[in-house]
Amino acid sequence: MAKKKKPKVDLKTFTVKKCPYCYSHLTVNANRCDRCGKRVGPVESSGWAKKTVDWKAYITAAAAVTLFLVYFWWAFMR
Ligand SMILES: [Zn+2]
């Protein structure tokens, strides 16, 4: 029995992609949404743009939590 092949989608056939944040249509080469201003990645086979990871926001949040914990320890745990 032959192996079942996944249907391959040629990403070059896409001319638009959908913003995963506000569901508006963008051109396939856009890396930022015109409507909501969020960064979007390349188009996926589903026709949606990939969500990009916002590392700066993650690092800022992690630093804020760490600072809070250090402050908490400094203020109450000594
Ligand atoms: Zn958007």
- What is the secondary structure of 16-77 as a DSSP string? EEE-TTT--EEETT-SB-TTT--BEEEEPTTSBEEEPP-HHHHHHHHHHHHHHHHHHHHHH-
Q: Taking the domains of the chain in order of start, what are their residue ranges?
A: 13-76
Q: Taking the complete model, does pTM exceed 0.75, yes or no? A: no
Look at residue 28 in the predicted model and tell me its pLDDT.
93
What are the CB-based long-range contacts (under 8 Å, 24+) for 5-9?
A: 9/45
**39 CA to centre of ligand 1 in angstroms:** 8
- Name the nearest CA neighbour of 19 among 2, 44, 1: 44
* CA 42 – ligand 1 centroid, Å: 14
pLDDT along the chain (78 residues), means of 10: 71 88 95 94 93 87 96 89
Give the distance (Å) from ligand 1 centre to CA of residue 59.
23
